[in-house]
């Protein structure tokens, strides 16, 4: 039972159907609040536990009034893969990857968009907008198409992964490539959605979208049969996801489903790491990065809009934040593909790169159970994968040539009797 929207700073309250993205009094972020006693009563009458793992298994926990309007492409229910071979290399006995690339458009954004676009429909919006480093635009474009809404996406000029761009284009969004970086594009859509009140904004500043993304935490609890992991490692860009996952865990504890909470551990790329810097220096503020850089274009974000929620999640959970270099990211991407058969995009591999660094420097203990979230599918960015792999060898269409190329010894053919 949602009750209202509330500012995380001054606690000002707003009605659930008011379109508001920042607190009007202090300008801070909003979050959706619930009456948990009412929710428990509702759950008692609901058959939610019989619904297969997915975002809408948790519909009672979602801020939607009219479930007949759900806009879904069957999101969530992603695999939790136990990584025995990678775990062995790192000396970890309980290592899992929650692979969000298994969502309909290939990233965790779909969890948020199914709820955010449903909310847009409920509010009667006719058009939606976002700024994006790629995955948000791909996801919003798909859900807008499903709902029959007009969709505009602003992407930064220069580097955005080709797979993501192709998605936004084929789903029929108006794709604008802004001469500037992501932070500048986000600033424009924030202003635009204030100016044109009929355009609904679906960046992670939108607290309804974040509610969908909290389902990742619920799923982890259910997949691990309430054995909450000691640590959850998440790539951090604009910082909505780590905040959403933390909210999910705290709600499950509030409801008495779990007893303990994981240490939330955020990973950023060295060239785009304002949150990791704030955590390391113990600061209450972030210093935005003017010109963010990293090969992991999805998280090339210098002024993360949800930084305060993320810093709270990390500090309140006893977690930490770490930075990783582009080399570490690419090495981790290759390693995960080659020892676990899981192909993720570079930004997603930052959680693995961060895990390796934190295990090696002793911050993550070998007895911990760890879940790394991999946020997007490897096919989002095939160019990077091709560039860093061995090129195919060209050979004649002859057995002998293939044997040579594969390093097989020539054998005398055994004659049929
Ligand atoms: C694969 O698409 O911000 O910390 O505009 O695509 O919640 O921002 C993407 C972010 C991690 C960071 N991994 O998540 C966008 C966008 C992947 C991503 C992140 C993104 P947040």
Per residue in 260-305, pLDDT tens?
999 999 999 999 999 999 999 999 999 999 999 999 999 999 999 9
DSSP-derived 3-state class of residue 222: helix
E-only strand ranges, 333-394 = 369-374
| Any domain includes 131 | no
What pLDDT does residue 413 have?
Answer: 65
pLDDT at 416 over 70: no
Q: Whose CA is nearest to atom 8 of ligand 1?
A: 238
Residue 237: inside a domain: yes
Residue 209's pLDDT band, with cuts at 50, 70 and 90, is very high
Listed residue (157, 152, 134, 147) closest to 201, CA to CA: 152
Distance CA 1, CA 124 (A): 21
Ligand 1 centroid, distance to 238 Cα (angstroms)? 6
Most ligand 1 atoms within 8 A of CB, residue of 182, 298, 329 to mutate: 298
CA–centroid distance, 237 to ligand 1, in Å, is 5
Cβ–ligand 1 contact at 237 (below 6 Å): yes
Q: Which two tokens stand for residue 42?
A: 């509702």
Domain for residue 11, yes or no? no
**Can you tell me the distance from the alpha carbon of 90 to that of 5, in angstroms, rounded to the nearest whole number?**
43
Token pair recorded at residue 80: 């939790």
pTM of the model: 0.97
177 domain residue, yes or no: no
Say yes or no: CB of residue 375 within 6 Å of ligand 1: yes
> Does 99 reside within a domain?
yes
Question: How many domains does the chain divide into?
Answer: 1
The pLDDT-based confidence of 417 (bands split at 50, 70, 90) is low
Q: Please work out whether the CB of residue 133 comes within 6 Å of at least one atom of ligand 1.
A: yes
| Secondary structure letter of residue 48 according to DSSP | G
Q: Is the CB of 340 under 6 A from ligand 1?
A: no
> Is 62 domain-assigned?
no
Instruction: Output phi, psi for 13, to 5 deg.
Output: -110, 145
Expressed in angstroms and rounded, the spacing between residue 345 Cα and the centre of ligand 1 is 11
Asked whether residue 107 carries a pLDDT value surpassing 90, the answer given is yes
Q: Is 160 in the pocket of ligand 1 (CB under 6 A)?
A: no
Distance, CA of 195 to CA of 19 (rounded, Å): 13
What's the N-to-C CA distance of the chain in angstroms?
77
Find the 399 Cα to ligand 1 centroid distance in Å: 46
Q: So what's the pLDDT on residue 102?
A: 98
Going by DSSP bridges, is the β-strand pair 174-178/150-156 parallel, antiparallel, or unpaired? parallel
3-class secondary structure, 181: coil
Structure tokens at 7: 């500012």
Q: Are strands 174-178 and 231-235 parallel, antiparallel or unpaired?
A: unpaired
pLDDT band at 188 (very low <50, low <70, confident <90, very high): very high
Q: Is 306 in the pocket of ligand 1 (CB under 6 A)?
A: no
**Is 325 inside a domain boundary?**
yes
| Rounded Cα distance, 59 and 3, in Å | 15
User: Does an H or E element contain 150, and which?
Assistant: strand 150-156
Q: Is 236 in the pocket of ligand 1 (CB under 6 A)?
A: yes
**Domain CATH for 365:** 3.40.50.1100
Domain extent, residue 281, equals: 80-105+210-387
The confidence score (pLDDT) of residue 263 equals: 98
Residue 13 Cα to ligand 1 middle (Å): 28
């Amino acid at each position: 039972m949602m009750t209202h929207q509330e500012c995380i700073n001054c606690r000002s309250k707003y009605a659930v159907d008011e379109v508001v993205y920042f607190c009007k009094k202090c300008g801070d972020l909003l979050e959706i609040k619930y009456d948990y006693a009412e929710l428990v009563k509702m759950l008692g009458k609901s058959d939610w536990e019989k619904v297969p793992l997915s975002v809408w298994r948790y519909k009672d926990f979602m801020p939607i009034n009219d479930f007949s309007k759900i806009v879904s492409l069957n999101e969530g229910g992603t695999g939790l893969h136990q990584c025995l071979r990678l775990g062995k290399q790192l000396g970890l006995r309980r290592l899992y990857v929650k692979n969000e690339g298994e969502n309909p458009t290939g990233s965790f954004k779909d969890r948020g968009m199914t709820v955010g676009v449903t909310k847009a429909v409920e509010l009667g919006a006719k058009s939606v907008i976002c700024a994006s480093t790629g995955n948000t635009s791909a996801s919003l474009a798909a859900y807008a198409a499903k709902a029959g809404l007009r969709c505009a996406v602003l992407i930064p000029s220069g580097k955005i992964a080709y797979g993501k761009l192709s998605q936004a284009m084929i789903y029929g969004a108006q794709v604008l490539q802004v001469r500037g970086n992501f932070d500048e594009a986000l600033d424009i859509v924030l202003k635009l959605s204030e100016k044109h009140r009929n355009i609904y904004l679906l960046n992670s500043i939108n607290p309804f979208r974040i509610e969908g993304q909290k389902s990742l935490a619920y799923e982890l609890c259910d997949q691990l049969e309430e054995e909450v992991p000691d640590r959850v490692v998440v790539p951090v860009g604009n910082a909505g996801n780590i905040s959403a996952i933390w909210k999910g865990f705290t709600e499950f504890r509030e409801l008495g489903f779990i007893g303990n909470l994981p240490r939330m551990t955020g990973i950023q790329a060295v060239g785009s790491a304002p949150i990791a810097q704030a955590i390391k220096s113990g600061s209450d503020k972030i210093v935005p990065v003017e010109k963010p850089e990293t090969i992991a274009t999805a998280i090339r974000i210098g002024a993360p809009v949800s930084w305060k929620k993320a810093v709270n999640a990390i500090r309140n959970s006893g977690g930490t934040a770490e930075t990783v270099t582009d080399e570490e990211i690419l090495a981790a991407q290759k390693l995960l593909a080659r020892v676990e058969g899981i192909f993720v995009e570079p930004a997603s591999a930052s959680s693995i790169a961060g895990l390796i660094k934190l295990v090696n420097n002793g911050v993550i203990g070998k007895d911990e159970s760890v879940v790394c979230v991999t946020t997007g599918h490897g096919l989002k960015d095939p160019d990077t994968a091709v560039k860093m792999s061995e090129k195919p060898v060209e050979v004649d269409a002859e057995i002998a040539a293939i044997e040579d190329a594969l390093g097989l010894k020539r054998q005398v053919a055994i004659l049929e009797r």
